[in-house]
Each structure stands twice: as structure tokens, then as C-alpha cells.
Amino acid sequence: MPKRIAILGSTGSIGRQTLAVVEAFPGDIEVVGLACGHDGPALLAQAARYRPQVIALAQGRVDAGHLSPGPAVFSGPDALTRVAAWPGLDLVVVAVSGLAGLAPTLAALGRGIDVALANKETMVAAGDLVMAAAKGGGRILPVDSEHSALWQCLEGRRSEDVRVVILTASGGPFRTLPPADLEGVDARAACVNPNWSMGRKISVDSATLMNKGLEVIEARWLFGLDYDRLQVVVHPESVVHAMVGLCDGTFLACLSRPDMRLPIQYALFYPERKTGCLPVLDPGQMGRLSFEPPDLARFPCLELAWEAGRRGFTFPCVLNAANEVAVERFLAGELKFTDIPRLVSRVLAKHLPLKEPGLETVLTADRWARTLAGQLAGQMGRGA
Ligand SMILES: NC(=O)c1ccc[n+]([C@@H]2O[C@H](COP(=O)([O-])OP(=O)(O)OC[C@H]3O[C@@H](n4cnc5c(N)ncnc54)[C@H](OP(=O)(O)O)[C@@H]3O)[C@@H](O)[C@H]2O)c1
């Protein structure tokens, strides 16, 4: 029987790569649901090719009347959640960007359905809720390359044997740029990652190193680690995705070519390990691998994320929301690259944490942070 999956964010970078993996294993996976934000034409083209039972467009409307048999069509804010709750699914791939992934992730896990999670913002904003929902039977299968690597290194290990967990970062496109030049970089330059081809939001996060900060918080929840055991190392070649240091001084590392189709494939078929159809890393051709500490003065977002994670409560949610607004404004040309950490820091400084656990608390903190970030961004854009 093929595995029955839905892909949320199917028109994006991870969504399309997931469909490429599906195509590489004909007959093994049935695409039952597809969903995205606003790209109706791309969604319809995918629906024509993969013949899902259900499609959803969160921001707009699509007419699938020309498809036969026609899929069920949902639109609007709860459209993705309705796809995640579609009957008979084995797995939901959550590959949307931003907090839009939270409700469908909770919906799938709440029904005992496995979630292949690429969407890190959901774990950052509501890690406790997501981990609690996963106690109902659905598993969280990490897709982020670093977390997939950690998952593989940590599986079967006793927590007390783990001394340190290291996430690697490419360092982004501005790793060696003189700090004074950072102020003038534009969205086009920020979206070019040296090793990975990704959506615009995560590309900017990689350039500010916020991406690595979000991943630290994600790892804290996924693997139940305290922040003292988490570390970030810049590794420009992106061949080693993560390392685990054991108590006796041994290190385990997970290496592969920087290609997201491999962690996607691992999550889709887990616990089976498939003979891949991707080009394989040749250690003899790897050349020099280098590692260096991150430059926290040049990239303050990493420290901001670490601090928000340590402070807990609604601070990580507010960090994420303020960052989403800041990146959006930067991509629209309204803020400078160096305004991103400034804006996030100013919103965090004004936050009084909400301590009542629950979804409403997360959504309230998220709304508060977006409103304030929007106001502050307007002032900063005018040079305040
Ligand atoms: N790309 C990578 O290599 C990579 C690696 C690790 C983790 N991730 C994580 O995976 C997630 C997706 O990244 P990506 O690079 O694939 O992003 P992307 O290329 O920008 O794609 C985002 C997808 O989410 C959909 N979407 C965005 N906002 C939405 C909303 N409010 N409601 C419904 N759908 C929405 C988009 O639909 P439309 O385009 O139709 O609007 C698109 O299908 C992010 O959380 C990212 O951090 C990505």
C-alpha cells in the first residue's frame, strides 16, 4: 500500500522537492492533498499532475472544475487545517513558511497522524504545544537538514551520554563581508545562499543567522535538550549538518551533500532507509572542511534567539513574529538588512511574557508582536 500524504506548502522550495522525491519512488507514495498560500496556478498545475483528493489555497480562490475527477477545494484561513485533517492520511508534510504551519501541525498530530516538519517557526513559537500534541500518537519527523542529522545521530542514545549537540551553519552570503557593508545589502543579495536553494524568507534568515537561532530553539524542543548543551558552529561547506559530542569525548557527525531531498526522503520513508536516487557524497572529493565560531557581533540575531529561548514563555513566539515582520519589510525594501535585529530586539525589549500555557496565549503574543513590529518598522523606515 502506498503511503498517503498531504503536502502543505507544495508550491514552495521544500514542497516542490518533496514532490520530486515522490516522483523518484513511483508507487510508494500517494499524494492525497496539496495546499499553499496564494499561487493558485502552480497549485492547479500540481493538482493536474498528481491528482490529489483535496487541494487548498489559503490566500485566494481556485477553480478546479476542469479537472476530472475534481478534487475537493478549500480556501481561506482554515483551509490548510482542513487538508491536514483529511481522512485516511498517513503523513502530513508541513512545508509552509511562518506561523501558518502551527494550526495544521496541531490538527494532524491531534488525530495521531505523523508530521514531517520543515516549518521551524511553528516549533519556535509553540514547541510545548506541538510536543504535547505529539503524545497523542502522531510522530514529528524532522525535515530541517540539521535536525534530521541530529535525529540520526541521537536515535537510540541515552540523554545522559550526550555532552553537546552542535548545529552547523553555512554562515550565509555575508559571512566575509566587511561589517560596515552590511547596512547596504539588498534583498536580492540576501536571497543568494552559497550552498542551498531556498525560499526568500529562510534565505534572509540564513543571511542574518536568525535561521540558526530558530533551529537552536527547534532542537531544544525536538530533542528535549537544555540550551547549555546546544552549540552552533559555522561550517561554510555545508557537508557536516550536525554533530553530537558524547560524554567520553567521542563525536558523531552526519555528512551528506547539501541537498534537502535527502532529509525529506528520510522523513517520508522513516524508519525504512531507501536506496537513494540522489548523487552521493564522495569523501575523496570533499576537499577541506572548515569550522569556526559564529560572529555574534556581526550577526546579533543568533544571540537574540538564544536569549529568547532561554527566557522561555512567549519570548520565542515574539522573536519569531517580530522577525517575520522584519524580514517581510526588508524584502519589500522598507527596512535595511541591519534593521532586522534592531527591530526584533526592540519588540523583545517591550514584551511582558504571558505565562498561561495554551494556543490562545501563543496567538495573543504573536498578534501583539506583529502589531508592535509593524508600528516600529514604519517608524524605522522613516528613519526614526
Ligand atoms: N528551503 C529549504 O531548504 C528549507 C530547509 C529547512 C527548513 N525549511 C523551512 O521550511 C519552510 C518552507 O520553506 P521554503 O524555503 O520551502 O519556503 P517557500 O519556498 O517560500 O515556500 C513556502 C510555501 O508556503 C506557502 N505559504 C506561505 N505562507 C502561507 C500561508 N500563510 N498559508 C498557507 N501557505 C503559505 C507558500 O505558498 P505560495 O507560494 O503559494 O504563497 C509556499 O508553498 C520554512 O519554515 C523554512 O524555514 C526550508
Question: For the purposes of burial, counting CB atoms within 10 Å of the CB of 77, is it exposed (0-12), middle (13-18) or buried (19 or more)?
Answer: exposed
What's the pLDDT at 102?
97
Query: Is CATH 3.40.50.720 the classification given to domain 3-143?
Result: yes
Q: Which fold has domain 312-384?
A: Rna Polymerase Sigma Factor; Chain: A (1.10.1740)
Select from 92, 178, 87 the least CA-distant residue to 139. Answer: 92
- Nearest-angstrom CA–CA distance, 349 and 354: 14
183 CB neighbour count, 10 Å cutoff: 10
What's the pLDDT at 370?
98
DSSP of 90-102, one letter per residue?
SEEEE---SGGGH
Query: Ligand 1: which residues within 6 Å by Cβ?
Result: 9-15, 36-39, 58, 80, 95-98, 100, 118-121, 144, 196, 198-202, 260
What's the pLDDT at 195?
84
Longest alpha-carbon distance in the chain: 63
- Nearest-angstrom CA–CA distance, 6 and 246: 37
Select from 78, 96, 85, 84 the least CA-distant residue to 39. Answer: 96
Q: Among 14, 74, 261, which residue has the most ligand 1 atoms within 8 Å of its CB, making it the best to mutate?
A: 14
Q: Where are the domains of the chain?
A: 3-143, 151-311, 312-384
What's the pLDDT at 74?
97
Closest atom of ligand 1 to CA, residue 198: 1
What's the pLDDT at 12?
97
Model pLDDT for residues 68-93, shown as the tens digit of each residue? 889 999 999 999 999 999 999 999 99
CA dihedral 384, 309, 217, 102 (to 10 degrees): -70
Residue type, 378: G
Stretches in the chain below the pLDDT threshold 70: 383-384
The helix or strand, by DSSP H or E, that contains position 233, with its residue range, turns out to be: strand 230-234
What's the pLDDT at 384?
61
Residue 71 in grid coordinates: 478534487
- Which residue matches cell numbers 544571540? 303
101 C-alpha vs ligand 1 centroid, how far in Å?
9
Residue type, 151: W
